[in-house]
């Protein structure tokens, strides 16, 4: 427990103390038979959060995930094309011409990291298109993450792995058939590709890939079955945006729209945030604002850490894992 000892000794005040408090709250929630949703915004998969998140999944510290379409696909991009990625520590100094040069080499930049289009995006497109067409021809439909589970568990990509597969959080999730919510999947590289294949006629039925409304319906049933008096569901939010905003609304929907008054509120809440509340940002709103929306209660353990998620999340996971 060297990491935990270090953090508890040095992280005593301000956001540092909030980090330790949130991690201890996470552990306490699990110790009281609670389940945990983790939400992933930003580019956490390209930041290789799988190095710590995959172990959290293996050890049953995460029970459901909500993520953007980008985080869903970018974990797999890294899995099959890691050796072709390029890191640009001096990205702040790039000129428009240098950015254009990256485009012409098909290197798509995310801050200091370039994702190779041909080795990552097109390689996955070729494999997943087969599954889209197969399902379409059979009149079947699946969620976006279920198509990824199919290609990961099929073995078709195994020969292309360029990192240790134990560091892919999506592969670990696939092995456990972990429920995943992907709101706004259309706003992703493969979502755009799917739209293109629907336009070109490769996929005849646009509903072959299920939508966000169906995800909310699935989440409503999952939450009702798993949020019980003796086993509430916690909410650990990395960043802001739709990955967090979408699933947290399932509770007021259940209460206000479906009249399921016996369903508990979220039993724990933590957000790692870099947003600014005073700008009217929902993503940056302090947890107490969520009381007014019927998402959290007066007594819900609430934490907010205003810092960089790429630094904070692995440290919290380390404490939860007892490292």
pLDDT in tens, 259-277: 998 999 999 999 999 887 7
- pLDDT of 202 reads 98
Closest CA to 171 of 189, 153, 147: 153
State the Cα–Cα distance between residues 179 and 201, nearest whole angstrom.
Answer: 30
State the Cα–Cα distance between residues 34 and 227, nearest whole angstrom.
Answer: 8
Residue 124 near residue 76, CB atoms below 8 Å: yes
- Per-residue model confidence as pLDDT tens digits over 140-185: 999 999 999 999 999 999 999 999 999 999 999 999 999 999 999 9
Q: What are the tokens at 267? A: 């039993």
- pLDDT of 1 reads 80
State the Cα–Cα distance between residues 14 and 19, nearest whole angstrom.
Answer: 9
31 φψ region: left (φ > 0), alpha (ψ -120 to 50), beta (else): alpha
State the Cα–Cα distance between residues 21 and 318, nearest whole angstrom.
Answer: 13
State the Cα–Cα distance between residues 191 and 320, nearest whole angstrom.
Answer: 34
- Per-residue model confidence as pLDDT tens digits over 77-112: 999 999 999 999 999 999 999 999 999 999 999 999
Residue 209 near residue 141, CB atoms below 8 Å: yes
Whether the pTM exceeds 0.95: the reply is yes
In the chain, which residue ranges form alpha helices assigned H by DSSP?
A: 2-10, 14-31, 50-58, 69-81, 96-104, 123-138, 144-153, 169-176, 189-200, 212-226, 242-248, 250-252, 309-320
Residue 266 near residue 296, CB atoms below 8 Å: yes
**CA 216 to chain centroid:** 16
Closest CA to 41 of 273, 175, 238: 238
Closest CA to 191 of 172, 173, 176, 212: 212
- Per-residue model confidence as pLDDT tens digits over 26-52: 999 999 999 999 999 999 999 999 999
- 133 exposed, middle or buried (CB, 10 Å; 0-12, 13-18, 19+)? middle
- Per-residue model confidence as pLDDT tens digits over 220-263: 999 999 998 889 999 999 999 999 999 999 999 999 999 998 99
Q: DSSP assignment, residue 278?
A: G
DSSP letters, 152-204, are HHTSTTGGG--S-GGG-HHHHHHHHT--EE-TTTTSSHHHHHHHHHHHHTSSS
Considering only CA atoms, give the Rg of the chain: 20
DSSP letters, 14-46, are HHHHHHHHHHHHHHHHHHTT-EEEEEE-TTTTT
Residue 50 near residue 75, CB atoms below 8 Å: yes
Q: How sure is the predictor about 302, in pLDDT bands with cuts at 50, 70 and 90?
A: very high
């Amino acid at each position: 427990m060297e990491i935990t000892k270090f953090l508890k000794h040095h992280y005593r005040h301000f956001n540092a103390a909030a980090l330790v408090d949130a991690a201890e709250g996470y552990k306490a929630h699990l110790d009281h038979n609670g389940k945990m949703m983790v939400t992933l915004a930003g580019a956490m998969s390209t930041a290789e959060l799988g190095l710590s998140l995959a172990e959290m999944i293996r050890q049953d510290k995460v029970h459901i995930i909500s993520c953007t379409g980008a985080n869903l696909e970018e974990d797999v991009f890294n899995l099959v094309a890691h050796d072709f990625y390029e890191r640009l520590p001096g990205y702040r100094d790039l000129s428009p011409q240098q950015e254009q040069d990256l485009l012409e080499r098909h290197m798509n930049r995310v801050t200091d990291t370039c994702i190779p289009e041909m080795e990552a995006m097109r390689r996955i497109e070729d494999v997943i298109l087969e599954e889209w067409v197969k399902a379409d021809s059979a009149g079947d439909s699946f969620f976006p993450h279920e198509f990824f589970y199919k290609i990961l568990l099929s073995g078709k990509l195994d020969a292309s792995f360029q990192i240790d597969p134990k560091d892919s959080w999506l592969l670990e999730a696939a092995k456990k058939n972990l429920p995943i919510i992907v709101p706004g999947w259309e706003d992703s590289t493969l979502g755009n590709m799917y739209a293109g294949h629907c336009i070109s006629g490769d996929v005849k039925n646009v509903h072959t890939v299920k939508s966000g409304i169906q995800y909310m319906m699935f989440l409503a049933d999952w939450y009702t079955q798993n949020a019980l008096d003796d086993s509430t569901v916690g909410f650990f939010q990395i960043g802001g945006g739709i990955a967090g905003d979408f699933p947290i609304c399932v509770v007021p929907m259940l209460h206000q729209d479906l009249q399921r008054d016996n369903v508990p509120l979220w039993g724990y809440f933590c957000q790692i945030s870099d947003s600014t509340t005073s700008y009217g940002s929902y993503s940056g709103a302090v947890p107490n604002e969520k009381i007014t929306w019927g998402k959290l209660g007066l007594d819900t353990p609430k934490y907010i850490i205003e810092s960089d998620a790429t630094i904070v999340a692995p440290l919290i996971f380390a404490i939860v894992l007892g490292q």
